[in-house]
């Protein structure tokens, strides 16, 4: 999976895990731009990132991040791509959504500080 998609995605994941929305819109725009370069197979990533870029509230950003994460994981699985070194897939059973993150300690972007370690690595 190209760093041009994963790097800004990880910045969004980190911000949401820390209950922050700053820079989410700009990084979502970067994901959309990078996904466009990947062509038709990445169209769902592009569309989800554009929608996330319009989020103005934390709850809305988290919902739209879930759609982006679904699209990203589906794209990676469909093309048998692996995450970059140090990046792992995680899953939140409460939100029933996956995400990618760095590190060995869960940092749940769907619930942030309220349930930061909810989920599991896959």
| pLDDT score at 27 | 98
| pLDDT score at 76 | 96
What is the overall mean pLDDT for the chain? 96
| pLDDT score at 111 | 97
If phi > 0 it is left, if psi is from -120 to 50 it is alpha, else beta; for residue 112 that is left
Q: How confident is the model at residue 53 (pLDDT cuts 50, 70, 90)?
A: very high
d(CA 53, CA 64) in angstroms, rounded, equals: 9
Which CA distances in Å does 83 have to 6, 25, 59?
8, 23, 26
| pLDDT score at 29 | 97
DSSP bridge pairs for 90: 99, 121
d(CA 53, CA 75) in angstroms, rounded, equals: 20
Are the CB atoms for 9 and 72 separated by under 8 Å? yes
Domain that includes residue 22, residue range: 3-121
pLDDT digits (tens, 9 = 90+) for 78-96: 999 999 999 999 999 999 9
**Whole-model pTM?**
0.96
| pLDDT score at 100 | 98
| pLDDT score at 105 | 95
Domains identified in the chain, total number: 1
Q: How confident is the model at residue 43 (pLDDT cuts 50, 70, 90)?
A: very high
């Amino acid at each position: 999976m190209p760093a041009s998609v994963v790097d800004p995605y990880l910045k969004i994941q980190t911000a949401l895990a820390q209950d922050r929305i700053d820079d989410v819109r700009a990084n979502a725009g970067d994901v959309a731009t990078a996904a466009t370069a990947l062509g038709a197979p990445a169209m769902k990533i592009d569309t989800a990132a554009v929608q996330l870029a319009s989020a103005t509230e934390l709850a809305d950003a988290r919902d739209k991040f879930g759609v982006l994460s679904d699209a990203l994981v589906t794209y990676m699985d469909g093309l048998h791509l692996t995450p970059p070194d140090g990046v792992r897939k995680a899953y939140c059973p409460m939100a029933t959504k996956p995400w990618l993150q760095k590190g060995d300690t869960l940092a749940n972007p769907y619930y942030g500080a309220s349930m930061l370690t909810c989920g599991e690595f896959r």
